[in-house]
Each structure stands twice: as C-alpha cells, then as structure tokens.
A and B are shown apart, each in its own frame.
Chain A
Amino acid sequence: MRANADAVIVGGGVNGASIAYNLLKQGMRDVVLLEKATFCNGSSGRCGAGVREQWGSEGNCRLAQAALNIFENLPDELDYPYDMEFKQKGYLMLAHTEREWDRLRQNVEIQNRLHINSRLCTPGQAREIAPVLNTEGMLGATFNNRDGHANPFHVTRAYLMAAERLGADINYFTEVTSIKSNGYRVKSVTTDKGVVATPVVINAAGPWAKPVAAMVGIDLPLFTQRHQILVTEPIGKVLDPMVMSLSLGIYCQQTPHGSLVMGMGDPREPKGYDIGHSWTFLEKMCSIMTHLLPVLKNVRVVRQWSGLYTVTPDAHPILGSVPELEGYYQAVGFSGHGFMLAPVVGELIAEMVTGKKPHIGIGALDLGRFQRGEYNIEPSVV
C-alpha cells in the first residue's frame, strides 16, 4: 500500500471501482482503493444486476439514461477480455392494481419527456414480449427495450483491471479504521495495514457508508435492509426481458448463461446487517414466480443468498462533497440501484474531485437536501 495518495477510495464494489477508473482517466495520478474483503463483497456482488431507465423521478431517469449510454460501450472502453454479459432485452414492468397502473403510466410520461422510449403495453402486447408470462389479472405493463442487465462481478472487475492498468493501487483485505482531518480538511486514512496520507477521501463503502462517514463526524440518514434473491439451474431461453412488479415486490431475469435470477423486497424486513437467508423467502418467491411464469415449475433452485439495500429517505443516492470538510466526497445510499448507476457515478464524482463541473447536474443529490427539505421520493423501487 502506498504511503501517499492524491485520492483514497473506501470500498471495492462497483461504485468504488468506477470512481477509481474515472479519476485516473481524468488525470489524477496516485489513486488508492481500500477494500476490507475482496471485490464485490458488499451489495454489488449480491444484486439483481438490472439496468433500467424506467424510473419514476426525473433525477433517477437522467442518471440511469447516462449510465446506460456508458454500459453500451463499456467492454470497448475498459478493454476487458471477458464477457460482461450485458444484455438489452428490456424491462417489462407489470401492473396488477389500478394504483400501480396509474403510477407506471405517469412514469412513462416522465420518461418520454426525457427521450426514454418506454411505452405502455396491453396484456396481449406484454405476452408478445414475454410469451411465457401469465397475464391473468394484469391490467397492463410498461416496456423499454433499452433496459437490461449485466454481470456485476465482471463489470466491477473490468473497472478494477482498467484502473490498475492506469496505475491504481488496489488493496484487498485492508480495512479502514479511521480518517484523520485537521478539522476542516482531510489529512490521512488509517487502515489495519498502515496509513495513507491524502487530501481526498471518497466514501463508496456501500452498506458500511454510514460507519465510514461517522469516522469524519458526518451522520448519514441511511439504513440497511436485507433483500433476498435466488438463482435457478440454467435452462434454454424462455425469457427475454427482466420482469418486474412493484406491487408484488419482485423482479426476475434470465441471464445469458441460462439461469434465472429473481429477487424480492419485503418492506417489513427489519433494518440492520443480517444477510442470512430464509426458507419463507424461497416458498414465497417460488409461489409468486410459478404463478407469473408457470414454465418455471419444473426448474430447480440452485442457490439463495441475501444482500443489503442501503436506503436514503428519498431512495436517491447521496453524491458529492460536504461543506464542513474539504476533501471528503461520497457516493452512498443507492437504495437498491447502485449497480446500474455506477458507470455515470464514477464519471460525476471524478469530475467533482478534479475540479470540473459535473456533466449532469447533481447538486440536488447532496447530503444537505435532507436538512433543506428539498427532496422527492422515488416511487418505483422493489
């Protein structure tokens, strides 16, 4: 580990990796990344891996749209020798209740205004997109063919390998224990492996963002909550789009490998760091999904696991600097959509750190918005 750096990133998930790469790409020289385990150990490696522009807030729509633009050229940009398994077969968002249908229709209006080509579908049109879908009781759906998913391990690793080629110093099994400042400016980061002197620290610690921010006296309005997920054995292609239902709290996609990955959010889940798995989840997930996609009845579940959402009061991330402490930046509180935003978040944070104007206005996503009361809640999260 280097003793001096121009910037230190805390966290080896997809956002930390993207920030490291983009800082170097934008001309920073000494970039050190600290990760307490190994890459993708927090939420990135446990996520549902979806990438969608179909959001309900203008802010999330704009960020996701910009991230998708980057995803489309990412294998070339990062010169990655493996397959990132990026698949663009759309997201089909189902409506089973009037309230949900109203919400989705409003979302499409917002999206279309921002030149996102999402559209409304009748149940029949939804079946044309996903012929195995049981549309019984469905009022309609929305679809955007540019949405999709990618393999988070490979995307993160691609960023890390590209960052290393540009000179990043990446340290696994290195845990940050404190961050020192002189009261108004960041000075150094102490780890269990030694100290790095640095004028810049970027908190990209995912579920551990709150304890990391507490090291510099910043109290983040975040909580963590378990979300469960499973994967099946690989089967022949049955499903093109990601299928998602906000009212059922589920999403399901078939990876290019053939396995189906599906997950569920339960608002009654206690807050905290529990990432154990439950039998109830398996039963409930399978019950909902074999009803929606009856073809899955004879498909076997291979593994289940859990991960944490790190949630803000408005389900938008907290990005950028804070007025109290020069040199401290954060990219935290992604509320379940950190993977899909990471490509653009890396660019924006790197622009801020290197003194440029971010190419997408993200002033409204600062920490101060909660004190000012200037925030709108994203309505379309599973």
Chain B
Amino acid sequence: MAEIDDDIIVCRCEDVTLGEIRRAISEGATTMDEIRRVTRGGMGPCQGRTCRVLIASELAKKTGKPVGQILPSTSRPPMKAVTMGNLARLGEAERK
C-alpha cells in the first residue's frame, strides 16, 4: 500500500497534518500526549474523537509497537463543548 501523503489533515479541529505528526515522532515523541503537546493534534473541540486512532496507528507504525500498547492521551471534561454563558447560568440556578 502506498504511503499516505504528509499534507493530509489528521486533526480537523486544529488543522494538523500527518506530516506534522510524523515530524513530532521523528523528533522523539513516543506517546499520544507528547504529540498533542507539540502539534495540538487532538486538542480541539472534538477532543480527538477523529484523530486519536489515526495518530495512534501512526505512532504504532513508527515505533513498532502494537496500537494497544500506545499510551493513550488524557481525556478531559466537558465531553462536549458548552458555552460559558450556560455554565454560568447553571451555577446561578443552583445557588438560588
């Protein structure tokens, strides 16, 4: 199978390309968190729902580890983006 082009976008929220992911790996990244810290891949509003698997499989390919052994990135709340206005109103409603 042909190698996928470097300029394909892997993380759609943050416009991170496969080339950027590959570069971070070639510079020493071995975990999902390191890649996220360097490239912003997986840091956007969808929290890596799309790119997580793609980045993990690239890491697996480059490090020779099975995907299951790639240390996953930390998941953080909120699971879905919520407006600050709604969060503020929730707090005010609870205090009443």
Contacts and interface: CB of A to CB of B under 8 A. Distances in A.
A153 B44 CA distance: 16
A299 B83 contact: yes
B45 A302 contact: yes
Chain A contact patch, size range: 20 to 34
A301 B82 contact: yes
Nearest to B40: A257
Interface stretch (B53-61, B62-70, B73-81): B73-81
Interface string B14-47: 0000000000000100110110011010011101
A40 interface: yes
B19 to A, nearest CB: 14
B1 interface: no
Interface in A316-334: none
A55 to B, nearest CB: 28
Interface in A276-331: 277, 280, 282-284, 286-287, 289-291, 296-305
A284 B94 CA distance: 11
B40 A299 contact: no
B26 to A, nearest CB: 12
Nearest to B87: A286
A38 B31 contact: yes
A145 interface: no
Contacts of B82: 282, 300-301
Nearest to A306: B76
Contacts of A157: 37-38
Contacts of B91: 280, 283-284, 286-287
Contact of B78 (A45, A280, A304): A304
B50 to A, nearest CB: 15
A23 B66 CA distance: 38
Interface residues of B, number: 27
B92 interface: yes
A357 to B, nearest CB: 36
A266 to B, nearest CB: 14
Interface in A132-164: 153-154, 157, 161
B78 A301 contact: yes
Nearest to A293: B84
Contacts of B74: 305
A274 to B, nearest CB: 15
Given A157-B38, A286-B87, A301 B92 contact: no
Contact of B47 (A232, A280, A297, A303): A303
B2 interface: no
Given A284-B91, A304-B78, A297 B85 contact: yes
A154 B44 CA distance: 18
B90 interface: yes
A289 B94 CA distance: 18
A38 to B, nearest CB: 5
Given A277-B77, A284-B91, A304-B76, A153 B83 contact: no
B2 to A, nearest CB: 28
A283 B74 CA distance: 22
B73 to A, nearest CB: 11
Contacts of B78: 282, 301, 303-304
Contacts of B94: 283
Nearest to A294: B85
B4 interface: no
A40 B37 contact: yes
A368 B13 CA distance: 50
Given A300-B82, A303-B78, 18 more contacts: A38-B31, A38-B34, A45-B37, A153-B37, A257-B40, A283-B87, A287-B92, A289-B88, A290-B88, A297-B85, A298-B84, A298-B85, A300-B45, A300-B84, A301-B87, A302-B44, A302-B47, A305-B74
Question: Which 8 A-B residue pairs are closest in the complex by CB-CB distance?
Answer: A283-B91, A297-B85, A300-B81, A286-B87, A153-B37, A287-B88, A286-B84, A286-B88
26 contacts: A38-B30, A82-B38, A153-B37, A153-B38, A161-B27, A257-B40, A280-B91, A283-B90, A284-B91, A286-B84, A286-B88, A287-B92, A290-B88, A291-B88, A296-B85, A299-B83, A300-B81, A301-B83, A301-B84, A302-B47, A302-B81, A303-B43, A303-B76, A304-B78, A305-B74, A305-B76
Interface of A: 38-40, 45, 82, 153-154, 157, 161, 172, 232-233, 257, 277, 280, 282-284, 286-287, 289-291, 296-305
